[in-house]
Chains A and B, each alone.
Chain A
Amino acid sequence: MSELGDLYQEVILDHNKRPRNFRALPGADHRAVGHNPLCGDRMTIYLKLDGDVVTEVTFEGSGCAISKASASMMTESIKGKTRAQVEALFKKFHGLVTGEPPASGADLGKLVVFSGVSEFPVRVKCATLAWHTLRAALEERTEAVSTE
């Protein structure tokens, strides 16, 4: 139960229930669709950039609690960051959910609530779907990305 408690932390359950920035973004200048073929989940990330800085980010789609909460919290934590900062944050987040030793650099902030994911290897893809989709959007790839 404690491992389950680590996975489904209050903050995660809250973001699952009331996802932030959960809508389409009219006038977005970057967009990408992410797909987890394992579960059929789909997610769209919308971005507005001012030069190198993410000024707005929203998402839409269906998914499990982990993927939805991850997307929701990601949108909150990358707003105002530069591409390089987003990339650094992704690397750190990826290390966190896969249980790799913490890398120095970016500060995960609230995202540390996803540390429990490392005890559930099959759920890593749920936690990273939003991030992979975000990277695709930043690279202006318009085709669907896949976790496979």
Chain B
Amino acid sequence: MRTAGERSAGGQIAGAATRASASGGRAFDPLAVREDFPILRQKVYGKPLVYLDNAATTHKPRVVIEAIERFYENDNSNIHRGLHALSERATAAFEAARDTVRRTLNAADLREIVFTRGTTEAINLVAQSFARPRLRPGDEIVISTLEHHSNIVPWQMVCEATGARLRVIPIGEAGELDMKAYEALLGPRTRLVAIVHVSNALGTINPVERVIEAAHARGIPVLLDGAQAVAHMKVDVRALDCDFYAFSGHKVYGPTGIGVLYGKVEHLEAMPPYQGGGDMIASVTFEKTTWNRLPYKFEAGTPHIAGGIGLAAALDYLDRLGLEGRAAHEQDLLVRATAALRAIPRVRIIGTAPAKASVLSFVIDGIHPHDIGTILDRDGIAIRAGHHCTQPLMDRFGVPATARASFALYNTRDEVDALAKGVARVIEVFS
């Protein structure tokens, strides 16, 4: 069934995505892609915006902005409850969005796709509804040194509540997982492995296939934090055989406030609800309430309907652009930026694993990342300076913070060169 949202989205698209598919997969053209992102046209402090903070959040192509606008202008209504035309259209569009997510992750079943507010909420859901009821004192959860705080704190909270212990996989100097240490950590008390797919601070792509294989060999389920992965690579939850997969809409060119938890249906069936409220129930009496079927059991209250629709528009956009061209382009930017910054004396790159997404963390000897960030900002160059919500990882490298440039499909080689020039100027200011 085609919905109103889909139909209008399909009918009105203009931009690089359709041009690319119309031309039958012509070489990826970042300049054409830039035209699809209205926000990139602006100047800041009189300089063209060079946005290199894509690991924090990505910008939205026009098709996403328009899909949201169209929903509010035409179909806005609550879902799963109205009998009227608008509610039917809104429900159909939201459920179509769920199917787009399912296809993107290659999940088998729509019941396995739960909409959340983002990665953080998805992980908390698993922590509270899956882990917490199963954990006994002395049980263990395995995470890694690379984790974002949102894949640390929820586990600390359930450990605190249950007497379970957190075990942490160490990493090597390049920012790569110590797989030997990982396997040694897996033991009879390990109840769950929760690990980042792609590190937001260093860009390391973890060997998640091997991580999962080793855990499954011992019957241990695995959650992957995919917040930084979905924008850069094909994620196939069936090929991976992961038990849970979490990601955020806003890091894949979609809206904020919407994200996804994929969970194997047998896990989700066995788990109690995370929050109680409307939509997640089958029937309520003051004596007994029964839960709704999946995935609605985990979607209490009115969801971010427009967000789901916008996320689907973003995933469709990426799909039309094709993965190969944009992935090669992002790697090209990473290689160029790495070489350019390496060539600058006093710059040290943190995170040099062989397999990396387009994230480049660096420090400059004697110059604090905040000062780097401020000076680049006045050049129109937006980077992130700080601990990137990975304080234990910063401690591992003995730095309070790093500067981080992270590249998206709309960035260009010229922007990489602007970054390198900007960094050289930072050093000049402080010389």
By size class, the interface of chain B is 10 to 19
Contact among B371, B378, B394 with A40 in the assembled complex (CB-CB below 8 Å):
B394
Contact assessment for B371 and A64 in the assembled complex, using a CB-CB cutoff below 8 Å:
yes
Minimum CB–CB distance for B385 against chain A, Å: 7
B320 at the interface (CB under 8 A from A): no
Known pairs A38-B386, A39-B370, A126-B370; A62 contacts B378 (CB<8 A): no
B367 within 8 A of A: yes
Contacting pair B378 A3 (CB below 8 A):
yes
Residue of A nearest to B367 (CB): A65
Q: Is the CB of A40 within 8 A of B374?
A: no
Assuming the A-B contacts A62-B400, A65-B368, are A7 and B394 also in contact, with contact meaning beta carbons closer than 8 angstroms in the complex?
Answer: no
The CA-CA distance from A41 to B374 in the complex, in Å, is 16
Q: Is A13 an interface residue (CB 8 A)?
A: yes
Q: Does B375 contact A (CB under 8 A)?
A: yes
B residues with a Cβ closer than 8 A to A are: 366-371, 374-375, 378, 385-387, 391, 394, 400-401, 429-430
Q: A4-B429, A13-B430, A40-B394 are in contact. Are A64 and B387 (CB under 8 A)?
A: no
Q: Which A residues contact B (CB, under 8 angstroms)?
A: 1, 3-4, 7-8, 13, 16-17, 38-42, 62-66, 68, 120, 122-123, 126
8 Å CB contact of B387 from A7, A8, A40: A40
Output the nearest chain B residue to A63 by Cβ-Cβ distance: B368
8 additional contacts, CB 8 Å, given A39-B387, A40-B386, A122-B374? A3-B378, A4-B374, A8-B375, A39-B385, A40-B401, A41-B401, A62-B400, A63-B368
Whether B368 pairs with A64 at a CB distance below 8 angstroms is: yes
Residue of B367, B368, B378 near A4 (CB, 8 A) is B378
A–B pairs, 13, beta carbons within 8 Å = A7-B374, A8-B429, A13-B429, A13-B430, A16-B430, A39-B385, A40-B391, A62-B368, A64-B370, A64-B371, A65-B367, A68-B368, A122-B374
Q: How far is B402's CA from A40's CA once the two chains are assembled, in angstroms?
A: 11
Contact check: which of B366, B371, B391, B400 meets A66 at CB < 8 Å? B371
B371 contact from A3, A38, A65, A122, Cβ within 8 A: A65
> A1 near B378 (CB under 8 angstroms)?
yes
> Which A residues lie within 8 Å of B366 (CB)?
17
**B374: min CB distance to chain A, Å:** 6
Residues of B within 8 A of A68 (CB): 368
Contacts of A38 in B (CB 8 A): 386
Check A40–B368 contact: CB distance below 8 A: no
A42: B residues at CB distance < 8 A = 400
A38 (CB) vs chain B CBs: closest residue: B386
